[in-house]
Structure 1
Amino acid sequence: MIDVLEIETCNELVARFETVIKSPRPSKSGQYFTGVDLGTACIVLAVLDEEGQPVAGAYRYADVVRDGMVVDYIGAVTIVRELKEEIESKLQTELRYAAAAIPPGTDALDSGAIKNVVQSAGFELTNLLDEPTAANQVLDIQNGAVVDIGGGTTGISIIKDGEVIKVADEATGGTHLTLVTAGAYKMSIPEAELFKRDVAHHQELLVTLKPVVEKIATIILEQVAGYEVDGLYLVGGTTCLTGIEGIIEKKTGIPTFKPINPMFVTPLGIALSCTDEALD
């Protein structure tokens, strides 16, 4: 059974988060839990209250992480600290606890760096999980696959009866879309990245980027082969590309769904996994 209602619930949470980014809503209890999403193209901090409701948030586009790996440690710490201080100023309090996430299968490679970034920015790290599994904290899918398409990689979590039974991460993501855009339009990489983010260009871009999106769809098919997957649920900044879900659904033959702002699903899920007990 396809979990359409869960998408609606997810959309409501994302919409509330978009509202509190602009107008923070302090919690009466003063208890806050933060999700830190160190993305390839964007760093997002999502802050929830003790009831799991969004109270504040901030984000900044950055180039400090590539393919799930921290490549500019000082830059990453600086941005997370500045976003933290920005939110603290608005809430008039200190943000103490935070959780973070990494692409599936990279825990042995870069989980230590992610942990150090969060702690060096002034947080007590309470949880570290993989990105698509974090996203499912919001989606609450019972049977299907959460597909987190980031800047450098595509992460996939297959869910059965509400439990994660497989996680995978494959190269190909938003960076590849940017490279194709730069080549097609004779732009620099930074110019192509900005061009790609502009919704006004998405319709014309979709034709140019279709082969890359189809490659991502092929990766998804390879990873879900042999599993019963009722639906694909797209999250991550790259899936903000208008129409990407239609190409993936056509290529995979699997019903495909996308929240209203998929860039914010994973950080909200990370925040929902945050507790008040720091990791060792």
Structure 2
Amino acid sequence: MQEIELANQVLNKFNEIVNTGRAYPFDKTKKIKIGVDLGTSSIVLVVLDNENQPVYGSFRYADVIRDGLVVDYIRSVDIVRTLKAEAEKVLGISLAKAAGAVPPGTIGKNKSVVKYVIESADMEVEDIVDEPTAASCLLKINNGAVVDVGGGTTGISTFINGEVQNVFDEPTGGTHMTLVLAGYNGISFEEAEKLKRKKCKEEENFLVIRPVVEKMADITQKALQSNGNKSNYPIYIVGGASNFSDFSDTFSNYLDRPVLKTAYPQFVTPIGIAMSCGKEVD
């Protein structure tokens, strides 16, 4: 689909930036857009130009979020500050404003804490959006559903005529995959997390965690049924926990409908956050 192809162009460019640590040339007289994604396994900072093209990006692995909630506030702030300082050094400008995101349905203090982390890193918060809806900004979805498989949760947003119809969130994600791998192999959570990221072990690991993926598909099925289950609408899978070759096929087989996944799905939501969709600052 054209939407996936266009998204992949942006994602490939962003991945190159992350791997090289270099910035793309941009017009410093025009507005830039900044996104901060506080994920369960990593924190990502994205800088886009005024045409939503990647200028700079970086991330840090971090264990500061659990099930979509910030559990180590000080460490979260320190990482965002570090990423911000590195970006400013490379770009030669100050990063003043940023957008953030939370799992669908996050309210009250749990939602506000993301805002406080960004503010404590010396940036004004422009937007706080839900993660699947942020992902839809890059994917430019008109009709369909975004399934954002994060570390702690699976978030789902459904769209009709470009408008959000429903958002759902269930506490099943990459962390649960890691727990299954740890139990199966008799190793610690930390060792299992490293094992999960080994590309050479992907096929073997996926056989073990497949039931978790099927549970995520079941969560998606129930969410779609509650929204009328438009079987002709596409499903888009994003999020770092979906970064297995067989992930989308497993989803598709379980749901008996096409499932689409981009390149580098772990960066779809962070880039969407930077695109500043939604106006939900409290």
Q: Which TM bucket (shorter chain)? A: over 0.9
The CA distance in 1 between the partners of 2:248 and 2:16, in whole Å, is 25
1:68-102 per-position Cα deviation (integer Å, ceiling 9, x unaligned): 10000000000000011111111111111100000
Letter in 2 for 1:18: N
Q: What is the aligned partner in structure 1 of residue 230 from structure 2?
A: 228
- Counterpart CA distance in 2 for 1:242 and 1:202 is 8
| 5+ long unaligned stretches in structure 1 | none
* Alpha carbons of structure 1 residues 278 and 7: separation in structure 2 relative to 1, 3 Å: closer
Match of 1:249 in 2: 252
Specify the code of the residue in structure 2 equivalent to 1:27.
F
3-state SS in 1 of match to 2:229:
coil
| Deviation of the 1:263 alpha carbon | 0.3
The correspondence of residues 38-77 of structure 1 with structure 2, limited to 5 A, is: 38-77=38-77
- Residue 252 of structure 1 aligns to which amino acid in structure 2? L
Letter in 2 for 1:76: S
The Cα shift of 1:108 comes to 2.5
| Cα distance, 1:243–1:180 mapped onto 2, change above 3 Å | same
**RMSD between aligned residues:** 1.6
Equivalent positions of 1:96-111 (< 5 A) are 96-111=96-111
Normalised to the residue count of structure 1, the TM-score between the two structures is 0.95
Residue identity matched to 1:176: H
Cα distance in 2 for partners of 1:126, 1:97 equals 6
Aligned residue identity for 2:13 = R
Alpha-carbon deviations, 1:6-54, whole Å to 9, x = none? 1111111101111222221142234321110000111100100112110
Percent identity, please: 46
Residue type at the aligned position of 1:48? L
Q: What is the match of residue 265 of structure 1?
A: 268
Query: Corresponding residue for 1:169?
Result: 169
Q: Within the alignment, does 1:8 sit opposite 2:5 as a pair?
A: yes
Match of 2:219 in 1: 219
Deviation string 1:171-228 (CA, Å, 9 cap, x unpaired) is: 1000000000111111110110011012211111111111111111100000000231
Match of 1:28 in 2: 27
* Residues 236, 263 of structure 1: 8 Å contact kept: yes
Contact 2:128 2:280 in 1 (8 A): no
Report runs of 4+ in structure 1 exceeding 3 Å deviation. Answer: 277-280
CA distance in 2, matches of 1:231, 1:134: 17
Aligned to 1:126: 126
**TM-score if structure 2 supplies the norm length?**
0.94
Structure 1 residues 148-167: aligned runs within 5 Å: 148-167=148-167
Q: Structure 1: how far apart are the matches of 2:82 and 2:172?
A: 30
Deviations 1:142-167 (A, max 9, x none): 11110000011100000111111110
Residue in 1 aligned with 2:179? 179
Q: How many residues align?
A: 276
Instruction: Verify: 1:146 aligned to 2:153, yes or no.
Output: no
For residue 17 of structure 1, what is the amino acid of its counterpart?
A: F
